[in-house]
């Protein structure tokens, strides 16, 4: 990366000297010292895998898109844990800006109380959906405020911040300015009003003229393009990477990063200038490093996980995370995140969800109706990474009845509850001779082409940040296992003599089918943590043998004795019939 003209090294004595004359930086420095003291007293460890969701606005109730972002992120975190890696997940709420100020005013309550209530709702959603987040950050947290002020101080000292009059089209909804080329005239059908809207988001914009602080975004055009060229898969899917490159190549304007406090009072005030409030996107984007322990001592950034291994975001905030955020990080001399995984939106009836039209999906109701595991599986299986996806309760019910209950649950029941054979017996008699036995005879093709290849295929998909592709591979494998079991007809091959020994052919079929269940149970833990654990309990798989290293056929020969009583109410049924709703 080329050296920027404005880049200025600031020594520790220089920072200390500045702190003596700047009350706000003294507090930040105290936090800086306290955090680094905490890190320095702990033994150095390897960098944990760090994955993040976007932080969510609290001005409105959560919708299924928020849940989708959370679920994708959690799957990525749990996958790393499945492979034996330490992983950290950060989520949270964005609580500053004009949107929040107006929403709290409309609700007639103090902004902080409004944010407290909103944050609790998102925390509840994460808990209800079995999201295993390690951090829940709120931009109203004091430690976040201190870190943002510290970053502003550094940007200002390096010459990246200046004051200027700013005129442009501003969207309250998006908390963003748009150039003339990014807006359009729109006739609002319900009211007949002619309004200006953002082409990208459809949000209404208004012309504003004010004096505020600016960030020299234009100075980072070449650095950004150089980074994109060196990291062509940084943004997934790849066509969104191309869109970002095209946008930066066309030129970057300096970014307005504050608003007059007379208009925007709810936010972090610009240090040493109470007449200005920080632009919400500079404030909000810092959350990822705040929870990683920023500011840190040189060399200790890895303790909290930075740089992030993956940011999961919706497609509507690509510009902020893929242009503004890396430019801020470059200006602060911080490493950039390793990957940005973007996803599409959820539509309803083929059209975009909107609270104004009443076309929304309440994620709490969906979780109550179908349960967290089923919703997680549906969102991962049907969600759109490349394109938008349509939400449909009928589709969830069909997926449940035909696949989860009809294929997966039915297979588990038939294999484990068969009265003419024993899973444990099959494991004992066939397990240590698996490779030899499966070179020919019943199941040899299934063993070589499916059972031995499913885990490596899923690993390739997950390492390519494709949870949808991975879960569809698993689903196809389950269908194939079910077909293998059905066509093998073990019930017709059971020997009539020798109690407890149905014969070698039957043992081989049962063992291979049980191995299919065991391996899929392990692989589905990131998607359906409760159901997968229950299946592995039904199989009697020890808790220490539920990691990716045990996804090879024949590597675990200790299972087969159920840890739960099969066939008794819920404990014996993996996917019981859905309760009907009136």
Asked if the model's pLDDT at residue 4 lies above 50, the reply is no
Condensed to tens digits (0 to 9), the pLDDT of residues 150-198 reads 999 999 999 999 998 766 777 766 767 777 777 788 877 777 787 888 8
pLDDT average, residue stretch 43-62: 88
Residue 387: predicted pLDDT: 93
Four-point Cα dihedral 105, 140, 70, 363, nearest 10: -30
Q: How far is 209 from 350, CA to CA, in rounded Å? A: 38
Q: How far is 303 from 48, CA to CA, in rounded Å? A: 7
Tokens 């409760």, residue?
530
Tokens of 439: 């070179």
Asked if the model's pLDDT at residue 245 lies above 90, the reply is yes
Q: How far is 147 from 32, CA to CA, in rounded Å? A: 8
Residue 572: predicted pLDDT: 56
Asked if the model's pLDDT at residue 116 lies above 50, the reply is yes
Bigger pLDDT: 169 vs 517:
517
Point out which residues pair with 255 in neighbouring strands. Answer: 215
Q: How far is 441 from 275, CA to CA, in rounded Å? A: 81
Query: How far, in Å, are 100, 141, 411, 414 from residue 490 at the CA level?
Result: 63, 61, 13, 11
Grouping H, G, I as helix, E, B as strand and the rest as coil, residue 579 is: coil
Q: How far is 120 from 127, CA to CA, in rounded Å? A: 10
Residue 31: predicted pLDDT: 41
Bigger pLDDT: 582 vs 400:
400
Q: How far is 174 from 97, CA to CA, in rounded Å? A: 10
Asked if the model's pLDDT at residue 99 lies above 50, the reply is yes
> Which CATH superfamily hosts domain 12-160+221-247+282-368?
HUPs (3.40.50.620)
Q: How far is 186 from 229, CA to CA, in rounded Å? A: 37
Condensed to tens digits (0 to 9), the pLDDT of residues 307-331 reads 999 999 999 999 999 999 999 999 9
pTM score, whole prediction: 0.87
Bigger pLDDT: 43 vs 83:
83
Asked if the model's pLDDT at residue 24 lies above 60, the reply is no
Bigger pLDDT: 207 vs 243:
243
- Who contacts 142 (Cβ-Cβ below 8 Å, separation ≥6)? none
pLDDT average, residue stretch 281-294: 94
Four-point Cα dihedral 447, 449, 454, 460, nearest 10: 150
> 278 and 269 in contact (C-beta within 8 Å)?
yes
Bigger pLDDT: 21 vs 186:
186
CATH 3.40.50.620 placement within the chain: 12-160+221-247+282-368
Bigger pLDDT: 35 vs 305:
305
3-state secondary structure string, 98-118?
HHHHHHHHHHCCCHHHHHHHH
Tokens 């031995």, residue?
452
Alpha-helical (H) ranges within 359-503 are 363-370, 372-382, 393-398, 410-416, 423-430, 434-437, 444-446, 454-463, 467-488
> 271 and 151 in contact (C-beta within 8 Å)?
no
393-572 has which fold?
Isoleucyl-tRNA Synthetase; Domain 1 (1.10.730)
Identify the CA nearest to 160 among candidates 16, 330, 24, 280. 330
Tokens of 225: 């393009």
Asked if the model's pLDDT at residue 354 lies above 90, the reply is no
pLDDT average, residue stretch 470-475: 98
User: Residue 525: which pLDDT band, with cuts at 50, 70 and 90?
Assistant: very high
User: Residue 41: which pLDDT band, with cuts at 50, 70 and 90?
Assistant: very low
Residue 360: predicted pLDDT: 85
Tokens of 2: 């080329």
Condensed to tens digits (0 to 9), the pLDDT of residues 416-448 reads 988 889 999 999 999 888 888 777 766 889 999
pLDDT average, residue stretch 475-492: 96
Bigger pLDDT: 344 vs 9:
344
Residue 568: predicted pLDDT: 54
Please measure the distance between the N-terminal and C-terminal CA atoms of the chain and give it in whole angstroms. Answer: 62
Condensed to tens digits (0 to 9), the pLDDT of residues 5-20 reads 443 333 333 333 333 3
Residue 579: predicted pLDDT: 76
CATH 1.10.730.10 placement within the chain: 393-572
349: left (phi over 0), alpha (psi -120 to 50) or beta: left
Q: How far is 173 from 256, CA to CA, in rounded Å? A: 16
Identify the CA nearest to 373 among candidates 400, 398, 348, 392. 400
- Taking every pair of Cα atoms in the chain, the longest distance, rounded to a whole number of angstroms, is 93
Chain mean pLDDT for the chain: 88
Tokens of 138: 């709120």
């Amino acid at each position: 990366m080329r050296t920027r003209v404005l880049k200025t090294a600031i020594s520790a004595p220089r920072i200390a000297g500045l702190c003596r004359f700047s009350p706000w930086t003294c507090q930040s420095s105290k936090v800086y010292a306290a955090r680094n003291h905490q890190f320095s007293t702990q033994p150095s460890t390897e960098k944990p895998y760090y994955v993040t969701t976007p932080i969510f606005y609290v001005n409105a109730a959560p919708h299924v898109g928020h849940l989708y972002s959370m679920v994708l992120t959690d799957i990525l975190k749990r996958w790393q844990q499945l492979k034996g890696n330490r992983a950290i997940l950060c989520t949270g709420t964005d609580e500053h800006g004009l949107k929040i100020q107006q929403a709290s005013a409309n609700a007639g309550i103090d902004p902080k109380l409004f944010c407290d209530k909103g944050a609790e709702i998102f925390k509840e959603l994460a808990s209800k959906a079995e999201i295993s987040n390690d951090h829940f950050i709120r931009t109203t947290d004091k430690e976040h405020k201190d870190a943002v002020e510290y970053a502003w101080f550094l940007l200002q000292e390096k010459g990246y911040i200046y004051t200027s009059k700013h005129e442009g089209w501003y969207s309250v909804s998006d908390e963003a300015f748009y150039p003339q080329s990014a807006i359009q005239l729109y006739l609002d059908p319900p009211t007949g009003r002619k309004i200006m809207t953002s082409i990208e988001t459809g949000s209404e914009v208004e012309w504003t003229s004010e004096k505020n602080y600016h960030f020299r975004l234009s100075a980072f055009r070449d650095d950004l393009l150089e980074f994109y060229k060196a990291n062509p898969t940084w943004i997934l899917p790849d066509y969104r990477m191309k869109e970002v490159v095209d946008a930066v190549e066309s030129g970057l304007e300096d970014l307005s990063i504050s608003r007059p406090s007379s208009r925007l009072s709810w936010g972090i005030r610009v240090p040493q200038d109470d007449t200005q409030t920080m632009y919400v996107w500079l404030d909000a984007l810092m959350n990822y490093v705040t929870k990683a322990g920023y500011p840190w001592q040189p060399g200790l950034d890895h303790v909290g996980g930075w740089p992030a291994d993956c940011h999961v975001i919706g497609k509507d905030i690509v510009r902020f995370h893929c242009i503004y955020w890396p430019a801020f990080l470059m200006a602060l001399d911080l490493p950039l995140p390793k990957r940005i995984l973007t996803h599409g939106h959820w539509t309803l009836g083929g059209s975009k969800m909107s609270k104004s039209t009443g076309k929304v999906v309440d994620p709490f109701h969906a979780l109550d109706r179908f349960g967290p595991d089923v919703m997680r599986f549906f969102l991962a299986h049907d969600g759109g990474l490349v394109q938008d996806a349509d939400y449909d309760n009928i589709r969830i019910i069909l997926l449940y009845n035909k696949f989860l209950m009809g294929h997966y649950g039915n297979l588990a029941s038939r294999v484990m509850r068969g009265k003419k054979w024993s899973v444990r017996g099959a494991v004992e008699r066939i397990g240590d001779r698996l490779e030899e036995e499966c070179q020919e005879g019943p199941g040899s093709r299934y063993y070589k082409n499916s059972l031995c290849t499913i885990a490596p295929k899923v690993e390739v998909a997950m390492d390519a940040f494709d949870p949808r592709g991975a879960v569809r591979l698993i689903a196809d494998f389950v269908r194939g296992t079910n077909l293998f079991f059905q066509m093998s007809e073990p019930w017709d091959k059971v020997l009539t003599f020798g109690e407890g020994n149905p014969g070698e052919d039957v043992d081989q079929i049962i063992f291979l089918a049980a191995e299919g269940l065991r391996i899929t149970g392990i692989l589905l833990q990131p998607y359906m943590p409760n159901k997968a654990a229950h299946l592995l309990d039904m199989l009697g798989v020890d808790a220490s043998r539920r990691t990716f290293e045990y996804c090879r056929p024949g590597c675990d020969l200790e299972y087969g004795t159920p840890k739960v009583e099969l066939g008794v109410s819920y404990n014996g049924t993996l996917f019981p019939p859905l309760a009907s709703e009136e």
